[in-house]
């Protein structure tokens, strides 16, 4: 049986929206930094980084740079995986070469599943007040 994916719209307060927007910009900067490091590695050694190397580099950058520490570690790893998959599609001839992204082009973050739960499952999408959100954190 195949895996299922669900997509939900989460209504949040203005402060939460600002935090998420900041994290999107930070994830974009991390993606660009990883892309630059990948290009430098290839230019110097004619060797591309593997998925584990990119993930480890993302975690190392997160440790060293206070700006990247705002991202959850699994989010940083997902950014590295996104770059690896983009490069793999390019090398397989399925897509264009990965290039730097502008913050307004980086539109999604992948958070780990722990720490989130649905609240009022029957009421999802039926809230009259958007401030009543569909998600709650533990």
Closest to 114 (Cα-Cα) out of 75, 82, 86? 75
Distance of CA 31 to the CA centre of its chain: 9
Residues in the chain: 138
Mean pLDDT, rounded, for 16-28: 90
53 has a pLDDT exceeding 80: yes
Mean pLDDT of all residues belonging to the chain = 83
- The string of pLDDT tens digits covering residues 89-116 is 999 999 999 999 998 888 888 876 656 5
Reported as type and span, the H/E element at residue 137 is strand 135-137
Q: How confident is the model at residue 124 (pLDDT cuts 50, 70, 90)?
A: very low
Q: For residues 62 and 2, what is the distance between their CA atoms, to the nearest angstrom?
A: 34
> pLDDT tens for residues 64-81?
999 999 898 999 999 999
26 Cβ neighbours under 8 A, 6+ residues apart: 67, 68, 70, 71
Mean of the pLDDT values across residues 33-61? 95
């Amino acid at each position: 049986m195949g895996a299922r994916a669900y997509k939900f719209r989460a209504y949040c307060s203005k402060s939460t929206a600002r935090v998420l927007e900041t994290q999107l910009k930070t994830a974009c900067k991390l993606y660009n930094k990883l892309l630059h490091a990948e290009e430098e590695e290839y230019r110097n050694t004619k060797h591309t980084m593997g998925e584990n190397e990119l993930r480890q580099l993302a975690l190392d950058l997160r440790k060293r740079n206070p700006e990247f520490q705002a991202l959850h570690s699994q989010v940083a790893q997902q950014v590295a995986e996104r770059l690896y998959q983009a490069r793999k599609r390019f090398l397989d001839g399925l897509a264009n070469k990965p290039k730097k992204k502008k913050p307004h082009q980086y539109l999604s973050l992948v958070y780990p599943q722990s720490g989130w739960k649905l609240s009022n499952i029957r009421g999802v999408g039926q809230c009259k007040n958007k401030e009543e959100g569909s998600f709650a954190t533990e």
